[in-house]
Amino acid sequence: MSGELPLPGRETRADRLEGVVVASTSAAGAAAAAREIAATITTRLAASGERPEEALVGLVCFVCASYDTALFAAEIKARLPETPIYGCTTAGELTLSGWASHSVVAIAFLRNNFTLIAHMLENLSHFGFEEGRASVAEARAALMANIPDGETDRCFGLLLIDGMCRREEAVISALYSALDDIPIVGGSAGDSMTFEKTWMIRDGAIYRDAALLLLFHTDIPFSTFKCDYFEPTSLKMVVTEADTEQRVVRELNAEPAAQEYAHQVGLIESSLDAASFASHPVLVGVGGQYYARSIQKVNADGSLSFFCAIDEGLVLTVAKSLDPYESTLATFERMEAELGSVSLYIGFDCVLRRLGAERSQISHRLSELYRNHRVVGFNTYGEQYRSMHVNQTFTGIALGYRRDDDERPA
């Protein structure tokens, strides 16, 4: 946890959309941020004669790691004591005003539209597939017991997981096996690019080495989505030496990893940094589809640390970047064609996408695109999409409008 920091700027905003209330703040300090999130949600509910303890099934908070996370968790719980509260730290936030930093964004889910069962997985460093699968199956059964029979097609899951645990693949595999036909998306928590500690929030406490699975049933139409902006080239690299436990690649094509990566993508080894990796991802082919395996950093010995699992013998394909703006716009258009119109996108957006946009000087355009399509969520250290843990990808849930609701955004 970091200490209390004075944070630049200040904004508090709350919006009520279909089935949710969204609030964000850039208040200076965790206690002030918690007060403002709680106050704006309470005020918005009061406008329609509702109280949080009666109206909400849960509040999900995405909190900048520069805040004192423990203090925020305690303060928000003290102000909304009867509301289940979940969340994690971030590498950047997505608010209704676009990309943000040094802020908190919160999504309150209304009881009239959502049923929620939460399940926490702890001690991920010793995670066992069968034990994890069995506990998630129990959570699924608890959800099924609280919804009408046969409505699994109205269920989805959100996964928030410690971004430094290096267990995402094992966890998502167990979840996918246990949840059957319930789709799942999510993100790995961040800590503002320090890569030291990320935190999960449940009610008034914080946790490391843990994951939160939030299982929802809703009467609101929805669809999961996945967006990236690259395509494979003919350039290949084989992982010839790796520490799979630590996700570190020492050799590519039997050459020092950083040196060979720089050679393949046409960069100078000494210039490699996070922005370089954002602009030049590598891909892994799985079942005819390609998924990013992004590099986190260059180590002092010339090895490369990855955000995803890496095995010796794995073939990495150098990617060619497409237009990020057009790819993201196409995703929104596809969701709107599928759902008719979209009330809100809950998004998990890789921090490397944001860094890449900043390097390409299109971050303002992309942020504006997110604002125009009402995206809320956070920048991640990795993204979950159904059975896969991926990188450099934008995943999430698009929430539409109920068919009996004639209100639409102007």
The residue type found at 114 is F
Q: For residue 4, what pLDDT band results from cuts at 50, 70 and 90?
A: very low
pLDDT, average across residues 47-54: 94
Give me the pLDDT at residue 410, please.
Answer: 42
> Taking 60 as the threshold, does the pLDDT of residue 9 lie above it?
no
**Alpha-carbon torsion (341, 365, 13, 83), positive or negative:** positive
Question: Of the candidates 163, 217, 194, which has an alpha carbon nearest to the alpha carbon of residue 384?
Answer: 163
Q: For residue 15, what pLDDT band results from cuts at 50, 70 and 90?
A: low
The residue type found at 216 is F
Task: Give the Cα-Cα-Cα angle 199, 204, 208 (nearest 5 degrees).
Answer: 20
Instruction: Kindly report each contact of residues 143-148 with a partner whose C-beta sits within 8 Å and lies 24 or more positions away, as own/partner.
Output: 143/115, 143/117, 143/215, 143/217, 146/115, 146/117, 146/217, 147/115, 147/217
Structure token pair of residue 237: 């690299």
> Taking 70 as the threshold, does the pLDDT of residue 16 lie above it?
no
E strand or H helix at 173, and its extent? helix 168-179
* Residue bearing tokens 């009867």: 82
> Taking 60 as the threshold, does the pLDDT of residue 407 lie above it?
no
Structure token pair of residue 162: 């410690």
> Domain extents for the chain?
12-226+325-399, 230-321
Structure token pair of residue 275: 């922005």
E strand or H helix at 339, and its extent? helix 324-339
Non-local CB neighbours of 27 within 8 Å, separated by 6+ positions: 7, 10, 12, 33, 35, 36, 104
Task: Calculate the alpha carbon distances from 141 to 57, 119, 121, 157, 341 in Å.
Answer: 18, 12, 16, 13, 31
Q: For residue 315, what pLDDT band results from cuts at 50, 70 and 90?
A: very high
For the CA atoms of the chain, what is the radius of gyration?
21
Looking at residue 324, what DSSP letter applies?
A: H
Cα pseudo-dihedral 11, 203, 173, 329, rounded to 10: -20
Q: For residue 361, what pLDDT band results from cuts at 50, 70 and 90?
A: very high
Give me the pLDDT at residue 56, please.
Answer: 98
Question: Of the candidates 386, 320, 385, 316, which has an alpha carbon nearest to the alpha carbon of residue 349?
Answer: 385
Q: What is the pTM of this model?
A: 0.88
The whole-angstrom separation of Cα 63 and Cα 50 is: 26
Instruction: Please give the mean pLDDT across all residues of the chain.
Output: 92
DSSP for 340-388, written as a single string: SS-SEEEEEEEHHHHHHHHHTT-HHHHHHHHHHTTEEEEEESSEEETTE
Question: Of the candidates 334, 316, 365, 307, which has an alpha carbon nearest to the alpha carbon of residue 226?
Answer: 334
* Residue bearing tokens 């129990």: 138
Give me the pLDDT at residue 229, please.
Answer: 87
Structure token pair of residue 222: 């929805």
> Taking 60 as the threshold, does the pLDDT of residue 341 lie above it?
yes
